[in-house]
Structure 1
Amino acid sequence: MSAAALRLAGALLGACLLGPAAAYADMGYAVVPTVIIYPGEEVTSANTHEVEVTNPNLAGNYAKSTSEVEGLVSTRTLLPGRTISVSALRAPYAVKRGSNVRLVFAIGNLSISAAGTPLEDASIGDVIRARNMDSGVVVSGTVLADGTIHVVAK
């Protein structure tokens, strides 16, 4: 065998041996549960960890870092060792159906507040319906970070 043929064979062998390893090195990380996480449970750094992705066929919108999923709530059962789909998570509820909240209507310098109860669970920024406890009127509003509902004019 000629020297050129040996060099070519060595290069091909090196590419075969280093190719997959090099491909795995830049595939990144994925977050996987360490225990079963049931729907409604919070995802924390205690029940998840990051693993290196080694499957080149792994597709989908999976969580790539623990900080991306920490504090979110699962919407379906997450199994240990399986990647966590971002669509399987939601923000925690800021208000719960049937709880007591403050309804606030503000326009210009006028601000009116009343006691109310949400008719559905909701996260911050969601538009929901709530019942005014004094009048019984159902209004719509946006959930704020402090748990109040900013009522919108009809």
Structure 2
Amino acid sequence: MKRLLTIALILAATTELYADILVPIRTIRAKEIIAAEDLATKESDDTGALSDARDLIGFEARVALYPGRPVRPGDVGPPAIVSRNDLISLVFIQGGLRIVTEGRSLGRGAVGETIRAMNMSSRTTISGRILSDGSIEVR
């Protein structure tokens, strides 16, 4: 009985499991927004690939995505609303005090991400979190 169980476990361990994953049907360049018509399903044994369309559609490619290749979670992210060299508002809020000044973004990012920016009046470089209106909250 033990020998039969051991053989069954060895066979189960060597059997590859396949699942449907999503792959691009065309080359999607970095910074492009992914649409439903850009994707197809493919059977694969790749465990790190994305398989749910909600994890891809409407998101931005962070790297180039090639046809037929698996898409990993780090390859996509929310669309950037701030680009490098954009003029933005720098906002400092503490208690009832709110200070707003003009700045220039030194990076690119989506809502909630931290990027660097330059205060245009003092030429000081700071880091802050991108808000939904495209301004940067400084701490």
Structures share a fold, TM > 0.5?
A: yes
So what's the TM-score if we normalise by structure 1?
0.70
CA–CA distance in 2 between the matches of 1:77 and 1:119? 22
User: Which of 30, 33, 40 is 1:49 aligned to?
Assistant: 40
Aligned-residue sequence identity (percent) comes to 27
User: Hey, what does 1:92 align to over in structure 2?
Assistant: 79
Unmatched runs of 5 consecutive residues or more in structure 2? 1-14
Q: CA deviation at 1:43?
A: 1.4
CA–CA distance in 1 between the matches of 2:24 and 2:121? 46
Q: CA deviation at 1:143?
A: 0.9
User: Hey, what does 1:39 align to over in structure 2?
Assistant: 30
Q: CA deviation at 1:89?
A: 1.7
Q: How far does the alpha carbon of each residue in 1:21-56 deviate from its partner, in whole angstroms, 9 at most, with x for none?
A: xx97xx5421111112122322111211234x2x4x
User: Hey, what does 2:96 align to over in structure 1?
Assistant: 109
Letter in 1 for 2:27: I
Task: Check conservation: 1:73, 1:89, Cα contact below 8 A.
Answer: yes
2:130 aligned with 1:143, yes or no? yes
Q: How far does the alpha carbon of each residue in 1:58-83 deviate from its partner, in whole angstroms, 9 at most, with x for none?
A: 12311112111112222333222232
User: Which of 51, 60, 63 is 2:50 aligned to?
Assistant: 63
So what's the TM-score if we normalise by structure 2?
0.77
CA–CA distance in 2 between the matches of 1:80 and 1:131? 39
User: Which of 91, 114, 130 is 1:127 aligned to?
Assistant: 114
CA–CA distance in 2 between the matches of 1:28 and 1:59? 8
